[in-house]
Chain A
Amino acid sequence: MTGRPRLFRGIGASPGIASGRVLLLDQGRLRVPRHHLQADQIDHEIRRLREAIDAAVAQLDAAQALLHDAGVESRSIVEAHAMMLKDSALFAEIAGAIRSQQINAEWAVTRVVGRWRSLFAQVADTYLRERRSDIDFVGQRLLQHLGGKLGELPLNGLPEAGTIIVAHELSPVSAVLLARQRVTALVTEAGGKTSHTSIVARSLEIPAVVGTVGVLDAAGNGDLVIVDGHAGTVQLRPTRAHLERSRQRDDRDRRRALELLETRSLPAATADGTSLVIAGNIELPIEVTTVVQRGGEAIGLYRTEFLFAGRAALPDEEDHYRTYSRIFDEIGDRPVTIRTLDLGGEKVFAALRNDPEPNPALGLRAIRYCLAHPELFTTQLAGLLRASAHGPLRILLPMISSLDELRFAREQIAEVGDELRGRGRTFADRVPVGVMLEVPSAVLIVDHLAEECDFFAVGTNDLVQYLLAADRSNARVDYLYSAYHPAVLRALRAIITAAAARDRPVSICGEAAGDPQFLPLLIGLGFRQLSMSPSAIPPLKQAVRQLRAADCERLVEAAAQATTQREVVALTRDFLHANLGPAYRELADR
């Protein structure tokens, strides 16, 4: 492949640097070969169809095993897809089309799939109408095994080591499968920080850049590419100098990570003896191991959206129960805080997609969505309560904006508890129920909420976004998005004060919680439980040990007088410089 170097900017979705060769997975634009057959070719073509079906079924069986290992409970969906493939009615129809119309297998597959698709498209029920995506999926599997180059993953013919996948978007299943093979980085044109690709890449700790517009057209199979998941850049056809620089940075990052790992089990206590609890945020159950390896003491935020991701049907109670209870197998009796479905906004999944909302960030999402879909919510609650029999589980309710929502959710939890007892299921006597503080109205009534909930978790990402009315993924206004804004500091102080008055534990779990530069402000404000992505744990613990809580409190006093975000940033920077000295330089160029 030839061509000039080109740099693409996207969203850094999973940190790390990797270089390798491009493998394009371009699902969007599959070209299906179509041709008519001679009469004597028909039997051969039907044999090809049979073989493709068998291979596709075998692939799904393999996928099922891998997904299970990854802790993704979507077994019965994969099973149902395999049943569709094996359905003799489907085979008969495709084979019939090959024979009667004398067309090749690929063409027959697209015709038959198209017919089923239009059949499902006429269904009035929005949910059942989504079966279109299942028949599409089945069709794609068949086309792939008929020798097409499209799509998802070449499981029979694994990507070579050092392969970097470039795709429009990856389904959760292919993202998991690819990431667990020898793929070294993922690049997609679509998606944001919370898309499937990003979640899986972070979970499995391979670099990823998403939202990289234009890269599919520019990249060719086999092109060299450097992916920087921290900076969010994709350097296509790098020069020798590019490669050398990225290798140096990669080496340095790895060396630092190793050094930090050696100190991971040192306690997270400041130099003047204030202890902090450092926990991990996870999205897949397998990450529990990573959190423990990185020196995390608890799971501060388990996001359950992945359980719902890209499935044809909603997870049932058993799916929830098995997934959550398995976390305790890994982490023992350490606390695990599980957030109920926070779907909405950018996190709209195939299983639940309805009409798009004009303003999803202010729309029917998270707890609102759950309260509006009681079957979905109570199913998850039942799984959560049952899992509490296995360890100290806490239920966290996202996006609470009023006391009514908290009360209503608690009523549902109580009802599900009664129902479970009626079924003879055992679970913990008291499962703490917490409020995720991320909507400004909740912060303003945090004292009332404290009366009726058991704990708080502050989601700084959404809280900052909603407080400042600035979407950080919108390049035109992202300059406004800053956790150093005085309004954010005031909100955080109000939370700490109200939580302390009622003796409610409060943890902080947005990105700011894992940022060593923001750490002195959090310590000074009085936050003692921080939850962050597993990779952020070792550097943060090290930073904690270098600070003194008393100094941090003085910093916060000074910051409280500051009137602009710029002043707060300057105060914090000077503080870090004075207190960390040379170590600060390392922080600053991370």
Chain B
Amino acid sequence: MSPPAKRTVRVTNDLGLHLRAAGALVQTATRFAAEVWLERPGTRANGKSIMSVLSLAAAKGTILEVSAEGPDADAAVQAVADLIENGFVQG
């Protein structure tokens, strides 16, 4: 078993992980077979559950650790972390 993929990112957009951002994040995470997790001190959220992601209440500047476990874990971490770092501007 390879070690779980991980990357630490900072929430960059002014409004933080707001509803639409959370929606976009979940949509991205759901594309992968791997389990995706977001963590900030004291809270861990399932990247495929919008309620869970919203409960992180991650405002601008929050540091989050994105991790994933599963066959496409590396790609999942990259996609989710990039999305957060790019301020949820998609393509």
Whether chains A and B associate is yes
- Stretch of A3-11, A77-85, A454-462, A580-588 contacting B (4+ beta carbons < 8 Å): A77-85
Tell me the nearest residue of chain B to A375, going by C-beta. Answer: B14
How far, in whole Å, are A84 and B54 apart by their CA atoms in the complex?
A: 10
Q: Hey, which chain B residues are within 8 Å of A313, CB to CB?
A: 15, 18-21
Tell me the nearest residue of chain A to B23, going by C-beta. Answer: A80
Mark contacts of B1-43 with chain A using CB atoms, 8 A cut-off: 1 yes-contact digit, 0 otherwise. Answer: 0000000000000111111111110110000000000000000
B18 and A76 form a contact (CB under 8 A): no
Q: Point out residues on A near B: beta carbons under 8 Å.
A: 76-77, 79-80, 83-84, 87-90, 116, 119-120, 123-125, 127-128, 131, 134, 312-314, 316, 375
Residue from A77, A89, A124 in contact with B20 in the complex, judged by beta carbons closer than 8 Å: A77
B59 and A88 form a contact (CB under 8 A): no
How far, in whole Å, are A131 and B51 apart by their CA atoms in the complex?
A: 10
**9 interchain residue pairs of minimum CB distance:** A80-B23, A125-B59, A123-B57, A312-B19, A313-B20, A89-B49, A375-B14, A83-B50, A313-B18
With A119-B55, A120-B57: A89-B22 Cβ-Cβ less than 8 Å: no
* Residue B52 lies at the interface, judged by CB distance under 8 Å to chain A: yes
Tell me the nearest residue of chain B to A119, going by C-beta. Answer: B55
A128 and B50 form a contact (CB under 8 A): no
Tell me the nearest residue of chain B to A376, going by C-beta. Answer: B14
Residue from A79, A90, A124, A128 in contact with B18 in the complex, judged by beta carbons closer than 8 Å: A128
How far, in whole Å, are A119 and B54 apart by their CA atoms in the complex?
A: 10
State the Cβ distance, B58 to closest chain A Cβ, in Å: 8
- B: interface residue count bin: 20 to 34
How far, in whole Å, are A83 and B30 apart by their CA atoms in the complex?
A: 12
B23 and A127 form a contact (CB under 8 A): no
Residue from B15, B26, B46, B58 in contact with A83 in the complex, judged by beta carbons closer than 8 Å: B26
How far, in whole Å, are A586 and B15 apart by their CA atoms in the complex?
A: 53
Q: Hey, which chain B residues are within 8 Å of A88, CB to CB?
A: 49
A80 and B57 form a contact (CB under 8 A): no
How far, in whole Å, are A116 and B54 apart by their CA atoms in the complex?
A: 10
Q: Hey, which chain A residues are within 8 Å of B23, CB to CB?
A: 76, 79-80, 83
A76 and B20 form a contact (CB under 8 A): yes
Q: Hey, which chain A residues are within 8 Å of B58, CB to CB?
A: 128
Q: Hey, which chain A residues are within 8 Å of B18, CB to CB?
A: 127-128, 131, 312-313
With A116-B51, A120-B57: A80-B22 Cβ-Cβ less than 8 Å: yes
A128 and B49 form a contact (CB under 8 A): no
Contacts A/B (CB < 8 Å), 27 sampled: A76-B20, A76-B23, A77-B20, A80-B22, A83-B23, A83-B27, A84-B50, A87-B49, A87-B50, A87-B51, A90-B51, A120-B54, A120-B55, A125-B16, A125-B59, A127-B15, A128-B17, A131-B18, A131-B19, A131-B54, A131-B57, A134-B54, A313-B15, A313-B18, A313-B19, A313-B21, A375-B14
